[in-house]
């Protein structure tokens, strides 16, 4: 038996874990702390601590999120405690090959960005390297860690939603989004714990969709209350796209799930009564909130979006000024900045694929986005089937802003949300390359 397993490991290029290499306490607490800092610490909060994360001025070291530093240190620590740093990298890469591929490509392209002296160095580290390393460590499927991750996320997101409503009611931002210390006085939207309102809206939308089709361990009344809180917070964040995606995807899921329940003939009478009561009270609640001006800010965003919709059309005009070589390898940064202002894109290019192509070139973009697609597929494949709901919502929303083409922690947050709330049962988790027992294989073969 021992020789059979060792042969399997060698065939797949996996490093056989040494005895006693279970996840140590430092790594366990470190992962929880990293996720807590990731979700709870924004650029506005860091500014109050003298850490200019969102701006251009100041030390280059402050352009990386503290959670990223913590993740990198944890990965280095875990590699050493494993007993063989190279063996650990091979071990986790064997369990999450697409994640490892994205991490390697991100590091290689980071070197390219540095050599070519182009913008986006911090973005490669915060956006792709941090998410890759964290998912690789979570790939060890430590029970203690996964038992506590959902609780941390629920606690932070609940505090985030409550703070958003308090900011909306008081018209006072506790941790406002700042660019080099400057607060946008014309943007009254809540910033809460996630920082920028659009980041808040995206994370909240994905979290609501995760509550709908995941988080089955939560009692239904509590889950319903949390969904209501997060939907109210979406209005405070003023996220038009996030609100539309949440309503369309969430509503479609609820209708499909409801009809499927009706077809089975198994309907919980208490749940049905509660749903009917809420359906009757919902129009009244909406009317009361509307009369108090709760939706005025959101309606104002739909009526006047500050040229955001027009910018998503004008961004394609930039390619008319570029030669084929510039499109493939990336034009001069000065040329891009000039073209951006000429075409009225002062606020940026609000699509990750277009922005990365314009700044870095199509070849660079193809490599990075292909690895990103494989990464998301691998994350979803390791989760319960219901994970498609937040993943589809995320893939739609990432196209409404610069998102993963610039510095952001959104990708890491979405990956953690999916892995924490849609983790399959322990019996369903099988190491990559593991061989099924002979008896199980025989049973499956004779069942047909």
- Residue 14 predicted with pLDDT over 50: no
Q: What is the DSSP string of 344-355?
A: T-TT----HHHH
Residues above pLDDT 70, as percent of the chain: 77
The answer to whether residue 139 is domain-embedded is yes
Considering the domain boundaries, does residue 343 fall inside one?
no
Between residues 36 and 240, which one has the greater pLDDT? Answer: 36
306 part of a folded domain:
no
Confidence of residue 290 (pLDDT cuts 50, 70, 90): low
Could you give the 3-state DSSP secondary structure of residue 328?
Answer: helix
pLDDT value at residue 385: 85
Long-range CB contact pairs, 1-5, < 8 A, 24+ = 4/435, 5/435
Residue 44, helix vs strand vs coil? helix
Q: What is the mean pLDDT of residues 105-111?
A: 93
Q: Please say if the pLDDT value at position 426 is more than 80.
A: no
Give, in order, the Cα–Cα distances in Å from 81 to each of 19, 75, 85, 336, 426. 12, 10, 8, 46, 24
- Could you count the other beta carbons within 10 Å of the beta carbon of residue 259? 10
- The pLDDT score that the predictor gives to residue 319 is 80
Tell me if 413 sits within 8 A of 34, measured CB to CB. no
Residue 88 is predicted with a pLDDT of 94
Digit-coded pLDDT (tens) for 388-419: 999 999 999 998 888 898 899 999 999 999 99
Number of structural domains found in the chain: 1
**Per-residue pLDDT at 104 exceeds 80:** yes
d(CA 241, CA 194): 17
Give Cβ neighbours of residue 121 (< 8 Å, ≥ 6 apart).
110, 113, 114
Q: Other C-beta atoms within 10 Å of 272: how many? A: 13
Residue 277, in any domain of the structure: no
pLDDT band at 310 (very low <50, low <70, confident <90, very high): low
Look at residue 29 and tell me if it is in a domain: yes
Could you list the residue range(s) of the whole structural domain that residue 205 is in?
25-267+351-424
Cβ atoms 140, 95 nearer than 8 A: yes
Q: Is residue 129 part of a domain?
A: yes
In a domain, 66, yes or no: yes
Range from 41-55, 273-287, 319-333 that averages highest in pLDDT:
41-55
Tokens 């607060």 correspond to what residue? 183
What pLDDT is stored for residue 279 in this prediction?
A: 61
The 10s digit of each residue's pLDDT in 252-282 is 888 887 777 666 766 666 666 666 666 665 6
Alpha helices in 96-238 (DSSP H): 97-116, 121-123, 130-138, 143-170, 197-213, 220-237
Mean pLDDT (whole number) for 64-90:
94
Q: What is the pLDDT of residues 214-226, one digit of tens each?
A: 877 788 888 888 9
Residue 6 has pLDDT above 80, yes or no: no
**Is 345 contained in some domain?**
no
Is the sign of the CA dihedral 190, 193, 196, 198 positive or negative? negative
Sign of the C-alpha dihedral computed for residues 215, 219, 222 and 224 taken in this order: positive
Residue 5 scores a pLDDT above 70 = no
């Amino acid at each position: 038996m021992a020789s059979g397993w060792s042969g399997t490991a060698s065939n797949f290029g996996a490093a056989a874990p040494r005895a006693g290499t279970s996840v140590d306490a430092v790594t366990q607490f470190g992962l929880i702390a990293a996720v807590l800092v990731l979700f709870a610490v924004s650029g506005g909060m860091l500014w109050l601590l003298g850490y200019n994360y969102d701006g251009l001025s100041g030390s280059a070291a402050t352009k990386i999120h503290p959670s990223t530093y913590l993740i990198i240190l944890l990965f280095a620590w875990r590699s050493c405690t494993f007993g063989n740093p190279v063996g650990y990298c091979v071990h986790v890469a064997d369990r999450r090959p697409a994640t490892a591929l994205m991490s390697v490509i991100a590091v290689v392209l980071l070197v390219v960005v540095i050599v070519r002296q182009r913008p986006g160095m911090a973005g490669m580290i915060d956006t792709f390297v941090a998410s890759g390393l964290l998912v690789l460590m979570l790939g060890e499927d430590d029970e203690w860690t996964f038992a506590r991750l959902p609780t941390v996320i629920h606690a932070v997101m609940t505090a985030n939603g409550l703070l958003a409503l308090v900011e909306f009611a008081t018209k006072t931002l506790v941790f406002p989004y700042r660019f080099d210390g400057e607060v946008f006085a014309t943007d009254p939207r809540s910033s809460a714990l996630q920082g920028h309102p659009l980041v808040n809206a995206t994370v909240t939308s994905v979290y609501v969709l995760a509550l709908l089709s995941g988080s089955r361990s939560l009692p239904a009344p509590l889950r319903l209350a949390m969904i209501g809180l997060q939907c109210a917070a979406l209005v405070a964040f003023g996220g038009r796209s996030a609100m539309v995606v949440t309503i369309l995807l969430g509503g479609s899921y609820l209708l499909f799930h409801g009809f499927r329940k009706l077809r089975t003939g198994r309907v919980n009478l208490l749940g049905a009564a509660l749903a009917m009561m809420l359906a009757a009270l919902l129009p009244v609640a909406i009317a009361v909130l509307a009369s108090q001006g709760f939706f005025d800010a959101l309606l104002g965003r739909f009526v006047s979006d500050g040229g955001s919709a027009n910018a998503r059309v004008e961004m394609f005009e930039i390619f008319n000024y570029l030669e084929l070589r510039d499109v493939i390898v990336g034009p001069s940064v000065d040329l891009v900045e000039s073209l951006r202002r000429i075409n009225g894109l002062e606020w940026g290019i609000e699509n990750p694929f277009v922005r990365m192509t314009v700044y870095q070139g199509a070849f660079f973009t193809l490599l990075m986005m292909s690895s990103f697609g494989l990464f998301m597929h691998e994350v979803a494949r390791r989760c319960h089937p219901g994970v498609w709901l937040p993943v589809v919502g995320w893939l739609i929303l990432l196209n409404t802003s610069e998102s993963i083409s610039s510095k952001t922690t959104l990708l890491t947050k979405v990956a953690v949300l999916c892995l924490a709330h849609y983790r399959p049962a322990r019996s369903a988790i099988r190491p990559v390359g593991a061989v099924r027992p002979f008896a199980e294989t025989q049973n499956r073969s004779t069942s047909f």
